[in-house]
Amino acid sequence: MSVQSSGVHAPRSTTRSTYRGRPLTERALRINDLPACARIGSADMSALLNLGRSALYKWVREGRAPAPIAPGVWRAGDVRDFLAQQGQR
């Protein structure tokens, strides 16, 4: 038995989607507006890098992503610097 599409599609989201189609978190969307000392959580980092949490921590272990200042917490300034470096490559 085959499944037929009705031809009706859900409207596309206007927010930027990332890992597995999840939308960016509010904090991730405002990363450039946050003060350098603001804290970014692992969900925000995962969204910004388009990675799952396991892959995010693997990148941290390998030195491919900035180290957190506390478990699951990054400084917004460090994250912005990292993203700027990635954009130059």
Q: Between 3.40.50, 3.30.160, 1.10.1740, 1.10.1660, what CATH number should domain 26-88 receive?
A: 1.10.1660
Q: What tokens were used for 34? A: 């946050």
Query: What radius of gyration do the chain's Cα atoms show?
Result: 16
Beta strands in the chain (DSSP E): 39-41, 73-75
pTM, to two decimals: 0.71
Task: Give me the pLDDT at residue 40, please.
Answer: 94
> What does residue 36 show for φ and ψ, rounded to 5 degrees?
-60, -30
Task: Give me the pLDDT at residue 25, please.
Answer: 82
Task: State the Cα–Cα distance between residues 86 and 89, nearest whole angstrom.
Answer: 5
What would the pLDDT profile of 1-43 be if each residue is shown by its tens digit? 445 545 554 444 444 555 556 678 888 889 999 999 999 999 9
Task: Give me the pLDDT at residue 27, please.
Answer: 84
Task: State the Cα–Cα distance between residues 14 and 31, nearest whole angstrom.
Answer: 18
Cβ(37)–Cβ(76) below 8 Å: yes
What would the pLDDT profile of 42-69 be if each residue is shown by its tens digit? 999 998 988 899 999 999 999 999 999 9
Cβ(76)–Cβ(38) below 8 Å: yes
